[in-house]
A and B are shown apart, each in its own frame.
Chain A
Amino acid sequence: MSTFDNPFDPNQSLHRGCTCGKHASQADHNAAIAASPNPTDEEAALNRAVESSIMRSLFPEDRTRRNFIKAVGVSTAMAAVSTFFPMAAAKAVAADPVGPLEKKKLKVGFIPITCATPIIMAHPMGFYEREGLDVEVIKTAGWALIRDNVANGQLDASHMLSPMPISASLGIGARQQDTYVATIQNINGQAITMHNKHKDNRDPSNWKGMTFGIPYDHSMHNLLLRYYLAEHGVDPDQDVQLKVIAPPEMVANLKAGNIDGFLGPEPFNQRAVYEGAGFIHVLSKDLWDGHPCCAFGATRSFVEENPNTFSALFRAIASATVYAHKKENRPEIIEAIAPANYLNQPKIVLDQVMTGRYADGLGNIIEEPERADFDPFPWESMGVWILTQMKRWGYIEEDIDYADIAEEIFRATDARQRLAEMGLPAPEINSKKHMIMGKEFDPARPQEYLESFEIGRA
């Protein structure tokens, strides 16, 4: 039974499977909500949701509710409930959860990589429009420009690398400005791609002396590559060279043999394979399954000055993210994001990234449905991990309170509340333990975790 179904129907069950009860699994539920009713149905649906939650709290046992309605009839039941609960008022409150939008015309930046999928697809697929927003999605030439344009307010909100709001808030490699991670855009979806000449040299401990490309210093790519190399005894500062290179140039440089490999965003790993330049050595999913990569962020001042607009923006992006999570929506999404206005990439390449059935460049077709995934919840523990690594590699020198900073920047509590208002599932906790390359990371003990590494600057 969906949150939006009629709780006064005695034949419906209110308690089942996912959060709303209608769907077999949580994933089905998410997609159904994301593909949510068109605007004319929304009011009715919202009324149903209010009625459902009231009835659920009145009748914790669903059997009791059904018996009650069967016994007295629907209209009597409704009247009876209305006498002691102001249902009409509750519906009115729910129908207008936010006030008017402070700003309708918005500029949202993105870098043309698949990590930006929810931000991008929300434009052609109408997710912004549904929230009453007129959003211009602006293709931006590089991460430094995203950083600057967010800082100076040219972009209202933007696609960011997850560590960027942290570096902006701490004023590291950026103008100090409190910046929030509103949602995570994508999880997984990166890879280490190596030059074809290293086909027989798959052991990273032999990689000393090599040169690697990363897209930006304050990126998950940099932190994950450093982590991966260090786990194999290669010091990323001493033994190899890490160069900041824009992703399309990574492919060209790989082809020319200027770099030995890169940890980059999709579709450029697959593009390198498609161009015959390299092979996919390992997916980032295999380093940390479910790791965050890019985020959707905004400055604190924008959020505080435009709370309703920000909520609407959040809803658009979060529902796009949940929609993108669902595998059967992927072909439609690929169609929407491939044109020159957005990613400007061949569909066959995007297809391999988004479906996870791909050529690895070594002659194999690999089936990895979780290769690129989307999950909006900004776990604070992800923020803590990023902080430990930024400290580990010397980006942060002073002593910090990991939990405090992560809580301030990764808006998990806000996200949960908003997701709940949308009827979307959200975890009940803000932090969890993560498994990264077989090692458990406990966000409650960041300092111990940091000290457990042999290689590092901290």
Chain B
Amino acid sequence: MSQSLSLRAGLVSILLLLAFIGAWWGATLPTQVDLGDMDPEYAAMMGLDTVQESDIPTPGDIGSAIWTHLSDPFYVEGSNDMGIGYQLAHSLWRVLAGFALAALVAVPLGFLIGMSPLMHKALDPYIQILKPISPLAWMPLALYIIQDASISSIFVIFICSIWPMMVNTAYGVASVRDDWLAVAKTLEVGPIKKAFKVILPAAAPTILTGMRISMGIAWLVIVAAEMLVGGTGIGYFIWNEWNNLDLANVIFAILLIGVVGMILDMIFGLLGKAVSYKEV
């Protein structure tokens, strides 16, 4: 039954895709234009032809953009023109660096907040104020103070990743079941051992949920940050193609960002599954 459901769902997905591409293709069909007695040189200067391509790239344009970029992802044509593989690698590196730094800060702090009601109350106002700030709002300040565009974008990832991880860690730690803590107390487990053997495993699924949310936000933010800062990365790639008003390449990059984001999310989903357990 469930197998046939998956099969049918897959079929519907494919049909939807085909319908979408068909509609897209139909909407972007080239049209015959009557240039009248327009000077051919003028027409060429205006990029006009008797067969007028649509302003919006066709599915074929996107297909050829995908093929061009994926068939040679690691070329280097100078420091401002590198293959999409390098651009992705730069973006992923920044995301992972900022994310790892955030985890180093957020998880211990989250532990502290979760375990100590005093710290929870004391730090809460700061977290509440800092949490809703758009990560990109930090960018000018970061650029001014850090004075390095690349490190600034890592900082922006750091500052946006930290809150969901911290809040979730604190929540996970605070909601470890009391009877488990009571057992630990009866067995006279030391505080370090208690943290690693009892609280961490119990809170791990919640912590990973926080990390998954953070990673999603970080991947959203890096693209915007790189568009602002330029240089390298998938965001820079979009900016560079936007500079050339080349929508086919922009759409290709959008698709790629979606796919990579999905993969990152899947990885954290699997990690979350690995640390969760069913209570019998």
Contacts and interface: CB of A to CB of B under 8 A. Distances in A.
Interface in B87-118: none
Given A339-B77, A344-B244, A141 B42 contact: no
Nearest to B237: A340
B79 A145 contact: no
B88 to A, nearest CB: 17
Nearest to B41: A365
B149 A149 contact: yes
Contacts of A36: none
A387 B240 CA distance: 33
A276 B81 CA distance: 28
A154 B149 contact: yes
Contacts of B229: 141, 145
Interface residues of B, number: 31
Nearest to A139: B80
A275 B245 contact: yes
A112 B79 CA distance: 14
Contacts of B39: 365
Nearest to B148: A154
Interface stretch (B11-19, B43-51, B210-218): B43-51
Interface string B233-250: 000100111111100000
A345 interface: yes
A348 B42 CA distance: 11
Contacts of A141: 227-231, 236, 239
A331 to B, nearest CB: 16
B245 A251 contact: yes
B264 to A, nearest CB: 25
Contacts of A74: none
Q: Which of B39, B42, B241 has the most CB of A within 10 A?
A: B42
Interface string A323-353: 0000000000000000111101110100010
Contacts of B245: 248, 251-252, 271, 275
A356 to B, nearest CB: 12
Contact of B46 (A148, A152, A273, A339): A273
B271 interface: no
B37 to A, nearest CB: 11
Contacts of B62: none
Interface in B32-66: 38-39, 41-42, 44-47
A302 interface: no
B79 A137 contact: yes
Nearest to B228: A141
Contacts of B38: 363
A274 B147 CA distance: 39
A94 interface: no
A308 interface: no
A284 B252 CA distance: 37
A36 B242 CA distance: 37
Interface string A262-287: 00000000010111100000000000
Contact of A352 (B45, B77, B78): B45
Contact of B148 (A152, A271, A346): A152
Interface string A167-179: 0000000010000
Nearest to A252: B245
A19 interface: no
A136 interface: yes
Interface in B145-198: 147-149
A348 B44 contact: yes
A248 B45 contact: no
B143 interface: yes
A64 B231 CA distance: 61
A138 interface: yes
B144 interface: yes
A141 to B, nearest CB: 3
Contact of B230 (A145, A273, A344, A346): A145
Nearest to B143: A148
Contacts of B45: 274, 348, 352, 358-359, 365
Contacts of A136: 79
Contacts of A344: 81, 240-241, 243-244
A153 interface: yes
A138 to B, nearest CB: 7
Nearest to A274: B47
B244 to A, nearest CB: 4
Given A141-B230, A359-B45, A365-B41, A345 B143 contact: no
30 contacts: A112-B240, A112-B243, A136-B79, A138-B231, A139-B240, A140-B230, A141-B227, A141-B229, A145-B228, A145-B230, A148-B147, A153-B147, A154-B148, A154-B149, A248-B244, A251-B245, A252-B245, A271-B245, A340-B77, A341-B77, A341-B79, A341-B80, A342-B80, A344-B244, A345-B244, A346-B244, A348-B47, A358-B45, A363-B38, A363-B42
Interface of B: 38-39, 41-42, 44-47, 77-81, 143-144, 147-149, 227-231, 236, 239-245
Interface of A: 112, 123, 136-142, 145, 148-149, 152-154, 175, 247-248, 251-252, 271, 273-276, 339-342, 344-346, 348, 352, 358-359, 361, 363-365
9 smallest A-B Cβ distances: which pairs? A141-B230, A152-B147, A341-B81, A341-B78, A359-B45, A139-B80, A340-B81, A344-B244, A341-B80
